[in-house]
Amino acid sequence: MFDVAMTLLLKGEFVCEVRYPDAYRFLSVEAHQKDVNAYLARIGRTLATTEQGGAWYAVYDRINQDEKRAIKEEFTQIKQKIRFLVEFFVKSMRATSQEVFYSRGDKIEAHALMAAIDGNPGLRAEFQALGTVGRGGATDGKMKSSLDRQLTLLVDLGYLIVSNAEREIYQVTGKIEYLTEIVQFLMATDNIPEDIEDEPETTAPLF
């Protein structure tokens, strides 16, 4: 399991109990964490976890200028997806009368969500608009097609897994915790410097 966990971490995956349960259990053992960190240290990386402890991922331990540029590029891509990610989850909460933001393990039932959207013209319009932020919008003009593309995109990005394909039930992964941390950071300071040459070295995610 060491090699499986290392491969996932070095690919930039967020290892959580929902998406990668075996690797997550492996990394939850302190002795295994030490082994993983010993390996990662040799290549300038270290093991990190989300604040809520729901997902493990690798971060840069030492950052040179090339790595700073790579981090900035990746962070810019995340910022570009933030609107879609946050709006989808917030609108889904509203559609299903969920009072708190999604957390790892929560389920999204596509049929129930679609029924709620169909029953609310305002929400339908919002989800249709959101489709243009996802993967090209509803090219056939159908809301269900647009919603399916949005859900598929969230699976591709690692925020959802398909827990029951026949019933179209999705499950939220631990990466949702990383999203909330990024949103909190951006709310505190939406300041990603253009000039990164003078930035101090700091621990940063390995995306």
How many other β-carbons are positioned within 10 Å of the β-carbon of residue 191?
7
The overall average pLDDT reported for the chain is 84
User: Any idea where the domains of the chain sit in the sequence?
Assistant: 80-184
Is residue 14 within 8 Å of residue 158, measured between CB atoms?
yes
* Whole-number Cα distances in Å, 90 to 93, 95, 132, 140: 5, 9, 17, 25
Q: Does 200 or 150 have the greater pLDDT score?
A: 150
| Torsion of the alpha carbons at 154, 18, 203 and 198, rounded to the nearest 10 | 0
Residue-wise pLDDT tens digits, 162-198 = 999 999 999 999 999 999 998 888 777 655 444 433 3
53-89 in b/e burial notation, b at 16+ Cβ within 10 A? Answer: ebbbbbbbbebeeeebeebbeebeebeebeebbbbbb
pTM (whole model) above 0.75: yes
Q: How far apart are CA 206 and CA 201, in angstroms?
A: 14
Per-residue pLDDT for 61 more than 90? no
80-184 fold: Arc Repressor Mutant, subunit A (1.10.10)
At 124, is the secondary structure helix, strand, or coil? helix
**pLDDT given at position 193:** 43
Q: CB count, 10 Å around CB of 31?
A: 7
Provide mean pLDDT across the span 61-74.
71
